[in-house]
Amino acid sequence: MSTVRVHNFAISLDGYGAGADQSLDRPFGHADGRLMGWFAATATFRAMQGASGGTTGVDDEFARAWGPDIGVEIMGRNKFGPQRGPWPDDGWTGWWGQEPPFHTPVFVLTHHPREPLEMAGGTIFHFVDATPAEALELARQAAPGRDVRIGGGVETVREFLLADLVDHLRVVEVPIVLGRGERLWDGLEGIEERFAVETVASPSGVVHRTFSRVAR
């Protein structure tokens, strides 16, 4: 059976996975680059941008685990864009330019379904109004036998955790206090009982926590 994985999901010390006031210019809201600075510094991220260099230590090892064996991603609408409500006719195709880094089908959860959007490099965005379980079923049909990545944002990851549909969760704790935004852990009291947790501190200052679901 393919597994459901969350990677490189950064949160602040106070548990926020995104800041407040997301906008076109600020996908992470007032957090800006602070949650993902460790990731932006890695060789893996730089290679995605067509650049060389970057860090090659533990942060890079975690960063690169994002891709292998993944056949499909599920993301929330707020990860795709800052729009709310019915889609405006604004030509928006996501934050990632003409060739997004996914190179797989991507299911975007929205209450406003629309036609699929095919990008360069193999990424196809499908816009579906579905529960987490329904979306997972669609994703598995789209990529039989491959793993499914839950790409965020905060609400989407939390909903999949609440529905107990996540096998591997890799959280990155960043030593900042955001104060405002969306909290990952709300409503998840006692979730540690469902997972084995492994912890590594990086010299960059972030902590990588790997939650692996214990057998049921």
Chain residues binding its own copies by CB under 8 A are 13-15, 173, 175-180, 183, 185-192, 197, 199-202, 205-207, 209
CB of 87 to its own copies, least distance (A): 33
| Minimum distance, C-beta of residue 187 to its own copies, in the bound complex (Å) | 7
Q: Are strands 4-12 and 147-152 parallel, antiparallel or unpaired?
A: parallel
Closest distance to its own copies from the beta carbon of 157 (Å): 13
In the complex, least distance from residue 145 CB atom to its own copies, rounded to whole angstroms: 32
**Could you count the other beta carbons within 10 Å of the beta carbon of residue 124?**
17
Q: Which is nearer to its own copies, 103 or 213 (CB)?
A: 213
Tell me which DSSP letter residue 100 carries.
-
Residue (133 or 201) nearer to its own copies, CB = 201
DSSP class per residue in 115-161: EEEE-GGG-EEEEE---HHHHHHHHHHHSTTSEEEEEE-HHHHHHHH
Of the pair 97, 179, the CB lying nearest its own copies is at 179
Nearest residue (CB) to its own copies, 167 versus 173: 173
Would you state the structure tokens that stand for residue 50, as one six-digit string? 């067509």
C-beta of 115 vs 193, nearer to its own copies: 193
How far apart, in whole angstroms, are the C-alpha atoms of residue 35 and residue 18? 8
CA distances from 210 to 19, 126, 187 (A): 23, 29, 20
183 membership: H or E segment, kind and range: strand 182-183
Residue 112 DSSP label: S
Of residues 58 and 138, the one with the C-beta less far from its own copies = 58
CB of 11 to its own copies, least distance (A): 8
The residue assigned the tokens 């809201």 is 29
Q: Which of 131, 98, 128, 101 is nearest to 115 (CA)?
A: 128
Contact 19, 36 (CB under 8 A): no
Q: At closest approach, how far in Å is the CB of 178 from its own copies?
A: 6
